[in-house]
Amino acid sequence: MTEAPWHHRHRVVIDVALAVVFVLLDTGTTLAGGSWWPERPGPLAWGLLGAQALACSSLVLRRRAPLTVVVVLGLFTLVVTLLISPAHALTPASAGNVWAPFATVVAAYGPPFHSRDRRVAYVALGLLTFVVARPWEPSATIITLAVLRTAVGPLLALYLDARRRLVLALTERAERAERERHLLAEQARDEERARLAGEMHDVVTHRVSLMVLQAGALRMTATDEATRQAAEDLRAAGCQALDELRDLVGILRRAPEEDTTPTADGLATLVAESTAVGVPVELVESGDRSLASPVVGRTAYRIVREALTNVRKHAPGARVTVRLRYEEAHLRIDVHNTPPTGRPSAALVGSGSGLGIVTLRQRIELVHGTLRAGPAPDGGFRLEAVLPAYVPTAESAVGA
């Protein structure tokens, strides 16, 4: 199975790293005089610096509790602002700075993107902007920086969310168009099937009917018993051919019935049947079986069934291992049997047509898969097949 991108599989690691980066950034900026740090720091300033580091570390929760992060950083900013004015317990070295940490930029990104109720998110962001901007001490520079600091994140979140929704809508539209295209192709095949069946019926039955009538006339007019018997045999064979042709044309004219071949879900039963007749089989499956579409599952079942049949015919006493690995894009099948411990039965070997692997290869090529079959290094035999995980059909289109 194809793994998800690294940043999706390690979101906690990314959030922790982001929190550490902003703790260091805001601490360094504050100590450098870029925020509320006084010229002569006392115990209160050092305590606030530690509280700022804890507030910035709350970014670890920016996905799971985005509103909590906004509240924590907003409260810290409000406390610092009140201590500066009107309490005058803290005197910054530069009074024209924004007291809020830079972590508020990332904190403001979270609520619109991760909160369920966007109205509450917008109220929280509005309060955060109010606290950071300090409108009771009007300053165009501070208000502008505060609005930019708390607005960039939400605007970016809204853009990414709109882009995600657009991509999902376009993907759904493309999948629906693909399903409709396959349904139309299936309908066209059915119509062509019926047309060819009608033409075959008109042409072939006409000729065979003439043969039957001529054979019947010959039987009635023949003078010797051998000729009458031969004519009767010819007439009976013609009638049988007409019956078989009628059945065949009926099948062709009908819409194809649902394939009753079991899917990959039936492999356990198939393995149990082989084990019951003396062919020990081990089935190993990995990955999510639902990744394989129904037609792929049926093809996999036929591959394993043909492989086990060949083992029973040609490798008596061998042990078989069947491995199926379900990936996002492919289904990989590996059937390996150990060297046989006995001699195969000539009658059993000659009971087949000898075209099993050839027919199987043709069926696999229909779904754009590949097949490799040949002797294994340990003296046994190995059959390997790679099938696409998804093959669009009318069945899958209707199911979807």
Q: Does residue 175 lie in a domain region?
A: no
Identify whether residues 221 and 283 lie together within a single domain: no
What is the token pair recorded at 152? 């960039």
Domain that holds residue 196: 181-253
Q: For residue range 110-121, what is the model confidence (pLDDT) as tens digits?
A: 787 777 777 888
Q: Does residue 173 lie in a domain region?
A: no
**Number of neighbouring beta carbons within 10 Å of residue 183:** 15
Judge contact between 276 and 243, C-beta under 8 A.
Answer: no
Q: Does residue 170 lie in a domain region?
A: no
Question: How far apart are the C-alpha atoms of 389 and 290, rounded to whole Å?
Answer: 9
- pLDDT of 248 reads 64
Q: Which residues of the chain have pLDDT under 70?
A: 1-8, 194-195, 197-207, 209-210, 212-213, 242-261, 345-356, 392-400
DSSP character string of 279-341: --EEEEEES-GGGS-HHHHHHHHHHHHHHHHHHHHH-TT--EEEEEEE-SSEEEEEEEEPPPS
For residue 2, what is the DSSP state?
A: P
Question: How far apart are the C-alpha atoms of 85 and 217, rounded to whole Å?
Answer: 122
Identify whether residues 271 and 395 lie together within a single domain: yes
Q: Does residue 210 lie in a domain region?
A: yes
Identify whether residues 274 and 384 lie together within a single domain: yes
Identify whether residues 199 and 79 lie together within a single domain: no
Identify whether residues 330 and 291 lie together within a single domain: yes
Q: Does residue 297 lie in a domain region?
A: yes
Identify whether residues 279 and 344 lie together within a single domain: yes
Pick from 107, 118, 135: which is nearest to 15 by CA?
107
Per the DSSP assignment, residues forming a β-bridge with 331 are: 326, 387
Polymer length in residues for the chain: 400
CATH code of 334's domain: 3.30.565.10
Identify whether residues 117 and 12 lie together within a single domain: yes
Q: Does residue 143 lie in a domain region?
A: no
Question: How far apart are the C-alpha atoms of 173 and 181, rounded to whole Å?
Answer: 12
Identify whether residues 249 and 300 lie together within a single domain: no
Identify whether residues 244 and 328 lie together within a single domain: no
- pLDDT of 2 reads 44
Identify whether residues 220 and 269 lie together within a single domain: no
What is the token pair recorded at 167? 């991509």
Q: For residue range 155-195, what is the model confidence (pLDDT) as tens digits?
A: 777 788 788 889 988 888 888 888 788 877 877 777 777 66
Maximum separation of any 2 CA atoms in the chain, in Å: 136
- pLDDT of 43 reads 92
How many domains does one find in the chain? Answer: 3
DSSP character string of 112-154: HHH-S-HHHHHHHHHHHHHHHH-TTS--HHHHHHHHHHHHHHH
Per the DSSP assignment, residues forming a β-bridge with 375 are: 381
pLDDT, the chain, mean: 81
Q: Does residue 152 lie in a domain region?
A: no
Q: Does residue 157 lie in a domain region?
A: no
Identify whether residues 78 and 187 lie together within a single domain: no
